[in-house]
Amino acid sequence: MGGDSLHATLAPHGTLRATINIGNPILAARDRDTDAPYGVSVDIARELATRLGVPLELLVVEAAAKSVATVAEGAADVGFFAVDPVRGAAIAFTAPYVLIEGCYLVRRDSPIGGNDQVDEPGTRVVVGAGSAYDLFLTRELAHATIVRVPTSPAVVDAFIEQGAEVAAGVKQQLQADTARHPGLRLIAEPFMTIQQAMGVARSRGERAAQYLRDFIDDLRASGFVREALARHGIRGATPG
């Protein structure tokens, strides 16, 4: 599946440029000592560059919306995103390689006990702007008000500072935030399952999209993703 024509569509600059979103701690983070990105998505990007036989350039962003825009606009070649129909207008997705859960967080004394009590007038739900759960809740919530903040890791701090009623996000991020902020309570039942996939701009053509789909299918079948999750100590995420 290699060849010059494939390189011309997937890595036209001779280097594979991959966006890495460190706003999702399940998939990537920065090393505290070196500041270098690491994680499951970094491992996958390196494997793709190796198979293509080109160098890898990692473009680190802090929000999913920025990652999508960078690939859609051609400033990066591939990226790692949650599958969503809005994003699908510009991005051709692979099958999901990881499934993670989106959950709600409330104060311990909140009267909200379940997901079905969130969509009420007067309830403010804080989300990361352009995140998968922002896009999902924008479609699903009819009565609650969505409050958007720049990045997903900033959600709980904004929730506390603004005195909002609900924070929404990736389950593991919210669990970590409860350790930082006593008095919070996670609603354990997820309101959505987030399908994490790779993607390439649709403008790159079907051959590039199919190569990427085949690549992810191979990683899923070979156990690469499961091993990467274990290697990075990621719990609560299921290989796709």
CA pair distance 209, 195, nearest whole angstrom: 17
CA pair distance 141, 139, nearest whole angstrom: 6
Strand partners, 58: 18
The range of the structural domain enclosing residue 84 comes to: 4-98+194-239
Tell me the one-letter amino acid at 135: L
Q: How far, CA to CA in Å, does 110 sit from each of 106, 141, 156? A: 6, 19, 15
Residues 72 and 145 in one domain: no
Count structural domains, the chain: 2
Tell me the one-letter amino acid at 217: D
Structure tokens, 22: 């460190």
> What pLDDT score was predicted for residue 230?
94
Residues 77 and 136 in one domain: no
Let me know: does 102 contact 170? Beta carbons within 8 Å: yes
What does each of the 240 residues of the chain score in pLDDT, given as a tens digit? Answer: 445 677 788 999 999 999 999 988 889 999 989 999 999 999 999 999 999 999 999 999 998 889 999 999 999 999 999 999 999 999 999 999 999 999 999 999 999 999 999 999 999 999 999 999 999 999 999 999 999 999 888 999 999 999 999 999 999 889 989 988 989 999 999 999 999 999 999 999 999 999 999 999 999 999 999 999 999 998 878 888
Residues 45 and 32 in one domain: yes
